[in-house]
Amino acid sequence: MKILVLGGSPNKNGSTQILIENFARGAKEAGNTVTGMNVAHMDVRPCAGCIACGYDGPCVQRDDMSQIRKAVLESDMLVFATPLYFFGISAQLKTVIDRFCAFSSRINMRNMKSVFLSVAWNDDDWTMDAIREHYLTLVKYLNLRDMGMVLGTGCGTPAMTKRSPYPQAAYELGRALK
Protein backbone atom coordinates (compact mmCIF):
# COMPACT_ATOMS: atom_id res chain seq x y z
CA MET A 1 0.00 0.00 0.00
CA LYS A 2 1.23 3.49 -0.84
CA ILE A 3 0.86 5.71 2.23
CA LEU A 4 1.22 9.50 2.12
CA VAL A 5 1.79 11.30 5.43
CA LEU A 6 0.79 14.96 5.39
CA GLY A 7 2.63 16.51 8.32
CA GLY A 8 1.17 19.78 9.52
CA SER A 9 3.51 20.80 12.32
CA PRO A 10 5.75 23.83 11.94
CA ASN A 11 8.03 22.23 14.58
CA LYS A 12 10.19 19.86 12.52
CA ASN A 13 11.45 18.01 15.60
CA GLY A 14 8.37 18.13 17.80
CA SER A 15 5.88 15.68 19.20
CA THR A 16 3.95 15.32 15.94
CA GLN A 17 7.13 14.21 14.20
CA ILE A 18 7.69 11.56 16.88
CA LEU A 19 4.29 10.03 16.10
CA ILE A 20 4.95 10.26 12.35
CA GLU A 21 8.30 8.48 12.64
CA ASN A 22 6.90 5.68 14.78
CA PHE A 23 3.88 5.22 12.54
CA ALA A 24 6.07 5.15 9.42
CA ARG A 25 8.46 2.61 10.97
CA GLY A 26 5.57 0.28 11.76
CA ALA A 27 3.93 0.75 8.35
CA LYS A 28 7.20 0.04 6.53
CA GLU A 29 7.79 -3.08 8.63
CA ALA A 30 4.33 -4.24 7.51
CA GLY A 31 5.46 -3.95 3.88
CA ASN A 32 3.97 -0.59 2.98
CA THR A 33 5.61 2.28 1.13
CA VAL A 34 5.52 5.49 3.16
CA THR A 35 6.14 8.96 1.77
CA GLY A 36 6.07 12.04 3.95
CA MET A 37 5.38 15.63 3.03
CA ASN A 38 5.91 18.29 5.66
CA VAL A 39 3.23 20.61 4.31
CA ALA A 40 3.88 23.11 7.10
CA HIS A 41 7.13 24.01 5.36
CA MET A 42 5.83 24.05 1.81
CA ASP A 43 4.53 27.01 -0.18
CA VAL A 44 0.77 26.44 -0.09
CA ARG A 45 -1.49 29.45 -0.28
CA PRO A 46 -5.09 29.47 0.92
CA CYS A 47 -7.90 28.67 -1.49
CA ALA A 48 -8.94 31.87 -3.24
CA GLY A 49 -12.51 30.67 -3.74
CA CYS A 50 -12.33 31.65 -7.40
CA ILE A 51 -13.66 28.27 -8.60
CA ALA A 52 -11.45 28.47 -11.71
CA CYS A 53 -10.70 24.80 -11.02
CA GLY A 54 -14.34 23.95 -11.64
CA TYR A 55 -14.01 21.73 -8.57
CA ASP A 56 -12.17 19.17 -10.68
CA GLY A 57 -9.30 20.80 -12.45
CA PRO A 58 -5.95 22.40 -11.85
CA CYS A 59 -5.77 25.33 -9.48
CA VAL A 60 -4.77 28.69 -10.94
CA GLN A 61 -2.39 29.27 -8.05
CA ARG A 62 1.18 28.23 -8.79
CA ASP A 63 2.52 26.83 -5.54
CA ASP A 64 3.48 23.49 -3.98
CA MET A 65 -0.12 22.27 -3.94
CA SER A 66 0.34 20.79 -7.41
CA GLN A 67 2.94 18.32 -6.09
CA ILE A 68 0.79 17.56 -3.03
CA ARG A 69 -2.20 16.91 -5.31
CA LYS A 70 -0.15 14.50 -7.44
CA ALA A 71 1.09 12.63 -4.36
CA VAL A 72 -2.41 12.41 -2.88
CA LEU A 73 -3.91 11.00 -6.07
CA GLU A 74 -1.12 8.40 -6.37
CA SER A 75 -1.63 7.13 -2.80
CA ASP A 76 -3.81 4.45 -1.28
CA MET A 77 -3.87 6.01 2.17
CA LEU A 78 -3.63 9.51 3.60
CA VAL A 79 -2.25 10.14 7.06
CA PHE A 80 -3.14 13.51 8.54
CA ALA A 81 -0.64 14.45 11.27
CA THR A 82 -0.99 17.67 13.24
CA PRO A 83 -0.50 19.21 16.63
CA LEU A 84 -3.70 20.41 18.26
CA TYR A 85 -3.85 24.19 17.84
CA PHE A 86 -6.72 25.80 19.72
CA PHE A 87 -8.71 22.55 19.45
CA GLY A 88 -8.27 22.17 15.71
CA ILE A 89 -5.91 21.14 12.93
CA SER A 90 -2.89 23.38 12.40
CA ALA A 91 -3.44 26.22 9.92
CA GLN A 92 -0.75 24.77 7.67
CA LEU A 93 -2.48 21.39 7.28
CA LYS A 94 -5.93 22.99 7.16
CA THR A 95 -4.79 25.15 4.23
CA VAL A 96 -3.84 22.01 2.31
CA ILE A 97 -7.13 20.31 3.16
CA ASP A 98 -9.04 23.40 2.01
CA ARG A 99 -7.24 23.18 -1.33
CA PHE A 100 -8.60 19.63 -1.76
CA CYS A 101 -11.64 21.55 -3.05
CA ALA A 102 -10.10 21.46 -6.54
CA PHE A 103 -9.95 17.64 -6.60
CA SER A 104 -12.11 16.29 -3.79
CA SER A 105 -14.28 14.35 -6.26
CA ARG A 106 -11.17 12.48 -7.45
CA ILE A 107 -10.23 11.67 -3.85
CA ASN A 108 -13.81 10.57 -3.20
CA MET A 109 -13.80 8.13 -6.12
CA ARG A 110 -10.55 6.47 -5.00
CA ASN A 111 -12.00 4.94 -1.78
CA MET A 112 -8.76 5.65 0.03
CA LYS A 113 -7.89 4.73 3.60
CA SER A 114 -6.87 7.27 6.22
CA VAL A 115 -5.25 7.64 9.61
CA PHE A 116 -5.16 10.58 11.98
CA LEU A 117 -2.25 11.42 14.30
CA SER A 118 -2.42 14.34 16.69
CA VAL A 119 -0.73 15.56 19.86
CA ALA A 120 -1.76 18.10 22.47
CA TRP A 121 -0.26 19.57 25.61
CA ASN A 122 -3.57 19.41 27.46
CA ASP A 123 -4.69 16.06 28.82
CA ASP A 124 -8.29 16.80 29.84
CA ASP A 125 -10.73 14.14 28.66
CA TRP A 126 -12.39 16.61 26.24
CA THR A 127 -9.17 17.94 24.69
CA MET A 128 -9.44 16.07 21.40
CA ASP A 129 -13.24 16.18 20.94
CA ALA A 130 -13.38 18.92 18.29
CA ILE A 131 -10.38 17.78 16.25
CA ARG A 132 -11.62 14.17 16.29
CA GLU A 133 -15.00 15.26 14.94
CA HIS A 134 -13.34 17.42 12.29
CA TYR A 135 -11.28 14.46 11.09
CA LEU A 136 -14.30 12.12 11.08
CA THR A 137 -16.28 14.67 9.07
CA LEU A 138 -13.42 14.87 6.57
CA VAL A 139 -13.42 11.07 6.35
CA LYS A 140 -17.14 11.06 5.51
CA TYR A 141 -16.91 13.88 2.99
CA LEU A 142 -13.93 12.44 1.11
CA ASN A 143 -15.21 8.85 1.25
CA LEU A 144 -12.13 7.73 3.17
CA ARG A 145 -11.99 4.58 5.28
CA ASP A 146 -10.67 5.44 8.73
CA MET A 147 -8.06 2.91 9.83
CA GLY A 148 -7.41 4.49 13.22
CA MET A 149 -6.32 7.46 15.26
CA VAL A 150 -3.66 8.24 17.79
CA LEU A 151 -4.73 11.21 19.88
CA GLY A 152 -1.82 11.96 22.15
CA THR A 153 -2.80 14.11 25.09
CA GLY A 154 -0.22 15.32 27.60
CA CYS A 155 2.37 15.55 24.81
CA GLY A 156 3.48 19.16 25.28
CA THR A 157 7.16 18.53 24.61
CA PRO A 158 9.09 15.85 22.76
CA ALA A 159 10.34 14.51 26.11
CA MET A 160 6.77 14.22 27.41
CA THR A 161 5.71 12.49 24.20
CA LYS A 162 8.58 9.99 24.27
CA ARG A 163 7.59 8.99 27.83
CA SER A 164 3.94 8.54 26.85
CA PRO A 165 2.27 5.47 25.32
CA TYR A 166 1.52 7.35 22.07
CA PRO A 167 4.71 6.64 20.07
CA GLN A 168 4.13 2.92 20.63
CA ALA A 169 0.46 3.29 19.70
CA ALA A 170 1.47 5.04 16.45
CA TYR A 171 3.97 2.26 15.70
CA GLU A 172 1.37 -0.45 16.34
CA LEU A 173 -1.19 1.32 14.16
CA GLY A 174 1.31 1.49 11.30
CA ARG A 175 2.40 -2.12 11.85
CA ALA A 176 -1.22 -3.32 11.64
CA LEU A 177 -1.72 -1.92 8.13
CA LYS A 178 -1.50 -4.45 5.34
DSSP state of 55: T
Does the global pTM surpass 0.85? yes
End-to-end CA distance of the chain: 7
Alpha-carbon gap, residue 148 to 64, rounded angstroms: 28
Burial grade of 25 (CB within 10 A; 0-12, 13-18, 19 or more):
middle
pLDDT score for 126:
96
- Residue 17 in contact with residue 90, Cβ under 8 Å? no
In the chain (178 residues long), the average pLDDT of successive 10-residue segments reads: 97 97 98 98 94 87 95 98 96 96 93 97 95 98 98 96 98 96
Alpha-carbon gap, residue 145 to 157, rounded angstroms: 31
pLDDT score for 58:
84
Strand-pair category, 33-38 with 145-152: unpaired
pLDDT score for 75:
98
**Coil, strand, or helix at residue 57?**
coil
pLDDT score for 56:
85
In the chain, the domains with their CATH numbers are 2-175 (3.40.50.360)
